Amino acid sequence: MNIPAFGLGTFRLTGQAVIDSVKSALDLGYRAIDTAQIYRNEAEVGQAIAESGVPRGELFITTKIWVDNYAADKLIPSLRESLQKLRTDYVDLLLIHWPAPGNGVELREYMQALADAKQQGLTRQIGISNFNIELTRQAIAVVGEGEIATNQIELSPYLQNRTLAAFLDQQGITVTSYMTLAYGKVLKDPVLADIASKHKATVAQVALAWAMQLGYAVIPSSTKRENLASNLLARDLRLDEHDMARIAELERNGREVSPAGLAPAWD
């Protein structure tokens, strides 16, 4: 199964807020949900899915292993806990959340454990998040070509990550863009506002449509039902070559997230 082009992110959402967001999204037609162990909301996501009544087979659920659980004897037990919280026997996609080069667990060890999780049927696909080119090469060397489904990376009109995206494309690895709206900073951009006005769209729709037209998957989040519904319409928005060229010029290496000890040396 391919990575869905459009999903719901749940970063920073907890408690009732995440339950309401997931239930609203599923009601509106979202079918891909992205969470992570460190978000501490897997149980609420699981509850919302169960209460939504949407059959498990229609859903694409992603979670991410946190750095504390990278060791070979911890990764799969921690995943089983995540599955219990999510109320499912498997996830569709399991990611290593950060390469965490100084973490004391070698890349080979955690990538092998990730491959073992797939072999045991606990996840349908495996992938990585926040990996640079060199670490992605190393990950491929461990699990084999064609095994890594995605690299989930920060990517927005202000951080276009072209070198890494081009490498991933060559390898047949889908780019999943998170922070596509750069914590909302792109929403105030005059160029994007002009493009949005031309298409009678919102700026958020333009940014999301731009990423999808480049072949990337997106996982925007919101606690507001109207924003969830509006974001979904980005799937139907077609930007022309001139729009895409104007957005290409907005690149400013505007990275929002790069935690010390977890992040690699960025390309």
Active site residues: 39
Distance of CA 25 to the CA centre of its chain: 16
Q: Is 152 exposed, middle or buried (0-12, 13-18, 19+ CB in 10 A)?
A: buried
Please give the Cα distance from 229 to 25 (Å, whole number): 8
Helix (H, G, I), strand (E, B) or coil at 36: coil
Please give the Cα distance from 46 to 84 (Å, whole number): 9
C-alpha closest to that of 22 among 1, 41, 2, 3: 41
